Structure 1
Amino acid sequence: MGPDVAVFMVPIVSVIGIITMIIFIRYYMNVERMALIQKGIDPFTNKPKGQLNPSVTLRIALLLIGTGVGILLGNFLDEITPLVSEAAYFSMILIFGGAGLLTSYVFELRMAKREEAEAKKEIKYENI
Protein backbone atom coordinates (compact mmCIF):
# COMPACT_ATOMS: atom_id res chain seq x y z
CA MET A 1 0.00 0.00 0.00
CA GLY A 2 1.71 3.14 -1.21
CA PRO A 3 1.34 6.72 -0.05
CA ASP A 4 -1.14 7.43 -2.85
CA VAL A 5 -3.59 4.90 -1.44
CA ALA A 6 -3.15 6.25 2.10
CA VAL A 7 -4.01 9.76 0.91
CA PHE A 8 -7.42 8.52 -0.20
CA MET A 9 -8.00 5.99 2.59
CA VAL A 10 -7.43 8.27 5.59
CA PRO A 11 -10.25 10.75 4.84
CA ILE A 12 -12.66 7.98 3.86
CA VAL A 13 -11.97 5.91 6.98
CA SER A 14 -12.14 9.04 9.15
CA VAL A 15 -15.54 10.08 7.80
CA ILE A 16 -16.92 6.54 8.12
CA GLY A 17 -15.57 6.34 11.69
CA ILE A 18 -17.12 9.67 12.71
CA ILE A 19 -20.49 8.76 11.19
CA THR A 20 -20.43 5.36 12.93
CA MET A 21 -19.56 7.01 16.24
CA ILE A 22 -22.46 9.48 15.92
CA ILE A 23 -24.88 6.66 15.07
CA PHE A 24 -23.81 4.60 18.10
CA ILE A 25 -23.98 7.60 20.44
CA ARG A 26 -27.51 8.40 19.28
CA TYR A 27 -28.52 4.72 19.56
CA TYR A 28 -27.29 4.38 23.14
CA MET A 29 -28.88 7.70 24.13
CA ASN A 30 -32.17 6.32 22.81
CA VAL A 31 -31.68 3.03 24.71
CA GLU A 32 -31.01 5.01 27.90
CA ARG A 33 -34.14 7.15 27.41
CA MET A 34 -36.29 4.07 26.78
CA ALA A 35 -34.98 2.42 29.96
CA LEU A 36 -35.80 5.55 31.96
CA ILE A 37 -39.30 5.69 30.48
CA GLN A 38 -39.89 2.01 31.35
CA LYS A 39 -38.96 2.77 34.95
CA GLY A 40 -41.39 5.69 35.00
CA ILE A 41 -38.75 8.42 35.15
CA ASP A 42 -38.92 11.49 32.95
CA PRO A 43 -35.76 11.25 30.78
CA PHE A 44 -35.43 15.03 30.40
CA THR A 45 -35.35 16.02 34.08
CA ASN A 46 -31.63 15.59 34.74
CA LYS A 47 -30.21 16.45 31.35
CA PRO A 48 -27.71 19.31 31.09
CA LYS A 49 -29.00 22.39 29.32
CA GLY A 50 -26.05 22.60 26.96
CA GLN A 51 -24.83 25.96 28.23
CA LEU A 52 -21.12 26.51 28.54
CA ASN A 53 -19.76 27.59 31.86
CA PRO A 54 -18.32 31.12 31.50
CA SER A 55 -15.08 30.02 33.15
CA VAL A 56 -14.63 27.27 30.55
CA THR A 57 -15.15 29.79 27.77
CA LEU A 58 -12.65 32.14 29.38
CA ARG A 59 -10.12 29.33 29.80
CA ILE A 60 -10.41 28.23 26.17
CA ALA A 61 -10.23 31.81 24.88
CA LEU A 62 -7.12 32.67 26.87
CA LEU A 63 -5.47 29.38 25.89
CA LEU A 64 -6.08 30.10 22.20
CA ILE A 65 -4.88 33.70 22.57
CA GLY A 66 -1.73 32.48 24.30
CA THR A 67 -1.18 29.86 21.62
CA GLY A 68 -1.59 32.47 18.89
CA VAL A 69 0.89 34.81 20.56
CA GLY A 70 3.25 31.85 21.01
CA ILE A 71 3.08 31.01 17.30
CA LEU A 72 3.68 34.66 16.42
CA LEU A 73 6.70 34.96 18.72
CA GLY A 74 7.96 31.55 17.61
CA ASN A 75 7.94 32.81 14.04
CA PHE A 76 9.72 35.96 15.17
CA LEU A 77 12.40 33.93 16.97
CA ASP A 78 12.76 31.62 13.98
CA GLU A 79 13.42 34.55 11.65
CA ILE A 80 15.63 36.66 13.93
CA THR A 81 17.69 34.17 15.95
CA PRO A 82 19.68 31.08 14.94
CA LEU A 83 17.41 28.81 17.02
CA VAL A 84 16.06 25.61 15.52
CA SER A 85 12.60 26.45 14.18
CA GLU A 86 10.87 23.54 15.95
CA ALA A 87 12.33 24.57 19.30
CA ALA A 88 11.29 28.19 18.79
CA TYR A 89 7.72 27.33 17.84
CA PHE A 90 7.05 24.63 20.43
CA SER A 91 8.66 26.51 23.30
CA MET A 92 6.73 29.70 22.61
CA ILE A 93 3.43 27.85 22.10
CA LEU A 94 3.85 26.00 25.40
CA ILE A 95 5.03 29.07 27.34
CA PHE A 96 2.27 31.37 26.15
CA GLY A 97 -0.42 28.68 26.21
CA GLY A 98 0.52 28.03 29.84
CA ALA A 99 0.51 31.76 30.53
CA GLY A 100 -3.02 31.94 29.10
CA LEU A 101 -4.17 29.11 31.36
CA LEU A 102 -2.50 30.75 34.37
CA THR A 103 -4.22 34.05 33.55
CA SER A 104 -7.53 32.21 33.30
CA TYR A 105 -6.93 30.63 36.72
CA VAL A 106 -6.21 34.03 38.29
CA PHE A 107 -9.37 35.54 36.74
CA GLU A 108 -11.49 32.61 37.91
CA LEU A 109 -10.05 32.93 41.42
CA ARG A 110 -10.87 36.64 41.51
CA MET A 111 -14.40 36.03 40.22
CA ALA A 112 -14.97 33.33 42.85
CA LYS A 113 -13.78 35.65 45.64
CA ARG A 114 -15.99 38.46 44.33
CA GLU A 115 -19.04 36.17 44.18
CA GLU A 116 -18.32 34.90 47.69
CA ALA A 117 -18.08 38.47 49.02
CA GLU A 118 -21.36 39.40 47.33
CA ALA A 119 -23.06 36.33 48.80
CA LYS A 120 -21.84 37.31 52.29
CA LYS A 121 -23.21 40.84 51.79
CA GLU A 122 -26.60 39.46 50.76
CA ILE A 123 -26.72 37.18 53.80
CA LYS A 124 -25.75 40.10 56.04
CA TYR A 125 -28.54 42.30 54.65
CA GLU A 126 -31.11 39.51 54.97
CA ASN A 127 -30.34 39.12 58.68
CA ILE A 128 -30.88 42.81 59.43
Structure 2
Amino acid sequence: MEQCPVCYHPLEVRDCAPCDDCGWDPLEINHLHQGLHTYTTYEVYRGMRLTLCDFCAVDFGSHRPEYFGFTNGKRIGFQHFEFVSDLKEPQVIKDKFCPQCSARLSFLKFLAQIRTSQ
Protein backbone atom coordinates (compact mmCIF):
# COMPACT_ATOMS: atom_id res chain seq x y z
CA MET A 1 0.00 0.00 0.00
CA GLU A 2 1.48 3.32 -1.06
CA GLN A 3 -1.25 5.72 0.06
CA CYS A 4 -3.06 6.26 3.35
CA PRO A 5 -6.42 4.42 3.36
CA VAL A 6 -7.98 7.40 5.18
CA CYS A 7 -6.59 10.58 3.53
CA TYR A 8 -4.72 9.09 0.50
CA HIS A 9 -1.50 10.93 1.37
CA PRO A 10 1.70 9.05 0.39
CA LEU A 11 2.96 6.77 3.15
CA GLU A 12 6.53 6.56 4.43
CA VAL A 13 8.31 3.67 6.11
CA ARG A 14 9.59 4.09 9.64
CA ASP A 15 10.59 2.13 12.72
CA CYS A 16 7.71 1.63 15.14
CA ALA A 17 7.11 0.28 18.60
CA PRO A 18 4.45 -2.48 18.77
CA CYS A 19 1.55 -0.18 19.76
CA ASP A 20 -0.73 0.33 16.76
CA ASP A 21 -1.90 3.66 18.19
CA CYS A 22 1.27 5.45 19.37
CA GLY A 23 4.03 3.15 18.09
CA TRP A 24 4.89 5.53 15.23
CA ASP A 25 6.19 8.12 17.71
CA PRO A 26 9.99 7.94 18.20
CA LEU A 27 9.43 8.63 21.91
CA GLU A 28 7.51 5.35 22.15
CA ILE A 29 10.51 3.50 20.72
CA ASN A 30 12.54 4.93 23.61
CA HIS A 31 9.83 3.75 26.01
CA LEU A 32 10.05 0.28 24.44
CA HIS A 33 13.83 0.14 24.96
CA GLN A 34 13.38 1.32 28.57
CA GLY A 35 10.69 -1.32 29.22
CA LEU A 36 8.15 1.31 30.28
CA HIS A 37 5.14 -0.33 28.64
CA THR A 38 3.54 -3.69 28.15
CA TYR A 39 1.81 -4.53 24.87
CA THR A 40 -1.40 -6.49 24.48
CA THR A 41 -3.55 -7.49 21.53
CA TYR A 42 -7.27 -6.90 22.00
CA GLU A 43 -10.39 -7.41 20.00
CA VAL A 44 -11.46 -3.79 20.08
CA TYR A 45 -14.65 -3.68 18.03
CA ARG A 46 -16.64 -6.29 16.06
CA GLY A 47 -13.71 -8.67 15.61
CA MET A 48 -11.23 -5.91 14.74
CA ARG A 49 -7.95 -6.23 16.60
CA LEU A 50 -5.27 -3.82 17.71
CA THR A 51 -2.06 -4.25 19.66
CA LEU A 52 -1.87 -1.44 22.21
CA CYS A 53 0.55 -0.35 24.91
CA ASP A 54 -0.84 -0.21 28.42
CA PHE A 55 -1.23 3.58 28.23
CA CYS A 56 -3.11 3.64 24.90
CA ALA A 57 -5.38 0.78 25.98
CA VAL A 58 -6.57 2.72 29.02
CA ASP A 59 -6.72 6.03 27.11
CA PHE A 60 -8.52 4.63 24.04
CA GLY A 61 -11.93 5.86 25.23
CA SER A 62 -10.72 9.45 24.96
CA HIS A 63 -10.98 9.30 21.15
CA ARG A 64 -13.97 11.35 20.06
CA PRO A 65 -16.84 9.23 18.68
CA GLU A 66 -16.75 11.14 15.36
CA TYR A 67 -13.14 10.05 14.82
CA PHE A 68 -14.39 6.48 14.38
CA GLY A 69 -17.44 7.54 12.37
CA PHE A 70 -19.95 7.13 15.17
CA THR A 71 -22.85 9.58 15.00
CA ASN A 72 -24.63 8.42 18.16
CA GLY A 73 -21.92 9.43 20.66
CA LYS A 74 -20.74 5.81 21.11
CA ARG A 75 -17.28 5.51 22.60
CA ILE A 76 -14.99 2.49 22.47
CA GLY A 77 -13.23 2.16 25.79
CA PHE A 78 -11.03 -0.35 27.56
CA GLN A 79 -14.09 -1.84 29.28
CA HIS A 80 -15.29 -3.07 25.85
CA PHE A 81 -12.01 -4.75 24.85
CA GLU A 82 -11.63 -8.52 24.68
CA PHE A 83 -8.18 -9.79 25.63
CA VAL A 84 -6.48 -11.81 22.88
CA SER A 85 -2.82 -12.12 23.94
CA ASP A 86 0.13 -10.41 25.56
CA LEU A 87 3.16 -9.58 23.46
CA LYS A 88 5.95 -11.43 25.26
CA GLU A 89 9.01 -10.05 23.46
CA PRO A 90 8.14 -6.66 21.98
CA GLN A 91 10.46 -5.50 19.21
CA VAL A 92 10.89 -2.46 16.99
CA ILE A 93 9.22 -3.20 13.66
CA LYS A 94 8.94 -1.48 10.29
CA ASP A 95 5.55 -0.11 9.33
CA LYS A 96 4.23 2.53 7.02
CA PHE A 97 3.21 5.87 8.46
CA CYS A 98 1.00 8.71 7.24
CA PRO A 99 2.53 12.09 8.13
CA GLN A 100 -0.80 13.77 7.34
CA CYS A 101 -2.81 11.62 9.79
CA SER A 102 0.08 11.00 12.22
CA ALA A 103 -0.74 7.30 12.37
CA ARG A 104 0.70 3.90 11.54
CA LEU A 105 -0.74 1.96 8.64
CA SER A 106 -1.90 -0.77 11.04
CA PHE A 107 -4.04 1.79 12.90
CA LEU A 108 -5.19 3.50 9.68
CA LYS A 109 -6.49 0.19 8.32
CA PHE A 110 -8.44 -0.30 11.56
CA LEU A 111 -9.77 3.25 11.32
CA ALA A 112 -10.86 2.86 7.69
CA GLN A 113 -12.54 -0.47 8.49
CA ILE A 114 -14.42 0.84 11.51
CA ARG A 115 -15.61 3.92 9.60
CA THR A 116 -17.03 1.79 6.80
CA SER A 117 -18.69 -0.66 9.21
CA GLN A 118 -21.14 1.96 10.48
Provide TM-score, normalisation by structure 1.
0.23
More helix by share: 1
Q: Which structure carries more strand by proportion?
A: 2
TM-score when normalising by structure 2: 0.24
Structure index of larger Rg = 1
Quick one: higher RCO (CA 8 Å, sep 6+), 1 or 2?
A: 2
